[in-house]
Amino acid sequence: MAHGLDPERLSAQFDEIDRLNDHVEGLQLLKSCEVDILADGKLDLPDSILKRLDFTVCAVHYRFDLDIEAQTRRILRAMDNRCFNILAHPTGRLLGERPGYAVDLDRVIDGARERGCFLEINAHPTRLDLDDVHCRQAREAGVKLSISTDAHSTVGLNAMRYGVDQARRGWIEAADVLNTRPWKELKPLFSR
Ligand SMILES: [Zn+2]
């Protein structure tokens, strides 16, 4: 989206992260990116770049007007890509601003389970999707969730508590949440 990284700049970022990981003791930076799901369900970065990421967070940011069938198929098609790990803000709603797009979350949850993908609980106070009902449904389906702040600055990290509260409303426990794990346990969950 705004000033998004193209493959070239992302590749330069990978090199910089590798350099830091080699040189700074006790630090491990992961490579990731929020990747747009295009209208046809493709991802907006080539697989050759996606494969170099430790994990991906993929999201719908435009074409909210698709009907429920087309929007659901768009997301499932994106999940078919083996580089797809986490579906960010799964409904696209912005509280007090706009409703979410039409999407069949039953099929998205089932599709995530079948493909080994995960869904996000977005902790930003204007998002908070998944909602409580779908959090619980994901858990019952055996789909793990990430709780993400959607932070665009360090201040944004303070939103984590809202995501945790949202998760608790959906009866989510620590074991259901991806990012309660150390990297060595998380890593295999991202290899499809
Ligand atoms: Zn986003």
pLDDT band at 4 (very low <50, low <70, confident <90, very high): confident
Dist. CA 1–CA 149, nearest whole Å = 17
Q: Domains of the chain: which residue ranges?
A: 31-190
CB 56, CB 66: distance < 8 Å = no
Q: What is the pLDDT of residues 99-136, one digit of tens each?
A: 999 999 999 999 999 999 999 999 999 999 999 999 99
What separation in Å is there between the alpha carbon of 187 and the centre of ligand 1? 22
With bands split at pLDDT 50, 70 and 90, how would you rate the model's confidence at 1? Answer: low
Q: How far is the CA of 25 from the centre of ligand 1 (A)?
A: 32
pLDDT one-digit tens code per residue, 55-74: 999 999 999 999 999 999 99
Cα(128) to centroid(ligand 1), Å? 12
Could you tell me the distance, in angstroms and rounded to a whole number, from the CA of residue 174 to the centre of ligand 1? Answer: 24
CA of 53 to the centre of ligand 1 (A): 17
Q: What spacing in Å lies between the alpha carbon of 188 and ligand 1's midpoint?
A: 24
In this prediction, residue 2 has a pLDDT band, given cuts at 50, 70 and 90, of low
Query: Per CATH, which fold does 31-190 belong to?
Result: TIM Barrel (3.20.20)
Residue with tokens 């799901």: 37
Sheet holding 86-87, edge to edge: 32-36, 55-59, 86-87, 118-122, 145-148
What is the three-state SS of 44-73?
CCCHHHHCCCCEEEEECCCCCCCCHHHHHH
Distance 88 CA to ligand 1 centre (A): 6
pTM: 0.96
